[in-house]
Amino acid sequence: MFMFSGVLEEHKQPLVAYQLFKTIAQAAPGARMVFCGGGYLQPVIEQMAAADGLAAHVHCTGSIPKDEMKRHYQSAHFLLFQSKSEGWPKAVAESMFWGAIPVTREVSIVPEMLGQGERGILTKPNDAVAAMAERVLALWNDKAACQHMSTLCMEWSREFTLDKFEADLKKLI
């Protein structure tokens, strides 16, 4: 399963995530995609999915509670997230925590979070959708490599919990 997490507006580029999924779905017909988050591009994505014959494979949740969001992260294999900019990349960190492999642009601190590509797939703004899809499918088809990368994501991200943050703050004080 694939997911997008964030506001469905141009700066987060959910339409690029949709195009990426559409390309992946051509090679993996059973693939599913969930767009978690609301925004003015939600009806556009739904219309595109219907026009492309993917309506049964693409679901837009709108804004949802944290517990429901957690369930989507837990069942996702990949986060397709091509945001133009990030401060603290929360969606990337959350996906990693639950083992969903991020496919995301080299913005902000994302390259460091992903270990320069050890813990996810880094893309550049000018990367073609077909090239990104090829990289995702190569990893998807190598189950051992996919599981290894997912495990690396979880191990790295779980070093940064609120409990650890609080304990480190107490050490400073």
pLDDT mean values, one per 10 residues, the chain (173 residues)? 96 97 96 97 98 98 95 97 87 96 94 96 95 97 97 91 66 74
Q: How far apart are CA 97 and CA 91, in angstroms?
A: 10
**Tally of CB atoms within 10 A around 170:** 8
| pLDDT recorded at residue 113 | 94
| pLDDT recorded at residue 162 | 63
* pTM (whole model) above 0.95: no
Q: CB within 8 A of 113, min separation 6: which ones?
A: 89, 92, 93, 96, 119, 120, 156
Side-chain half-sphere of 43: how many Cα atoms within 13 Å? 1
- CATH tag for 2-172 (out of 3.30.9.10, 3.90.1300.10, 3.40.50.2000, 3.40.50.300): 3.40.50.2000
| pLDDT recorded at residue 165 | 59
Q: At what angle do helices 90-97 and 143-157 cross, to 10 degrees?
A: 110
Give per-residue pLDDT as tens, 58-88: 999 999 999 999 999 999 999 999 999 887 7
| pLDDT recorded at residue 172 | 73
DSSP calls for the chain: -EEEES--SGGG-HHHHHHHHHHHHHH-TT--EEEEB--TTHHHHHHHHHHTT-TTTEEEEES--HHHHHHHHHH-SEEEE--S--SS-HHHHHHHHTTPEEEEES-TTHHHHTGGGTTSEEE-TT--HHHHHHHHHHHHH-HHHHHHHHHHHHHHHTTS-HHHHHHHHHHH-
- Residue 122 · residue 106 · CB < 8 Å: yes
Q: Which residue has the tokens 């996919």?
A: 146
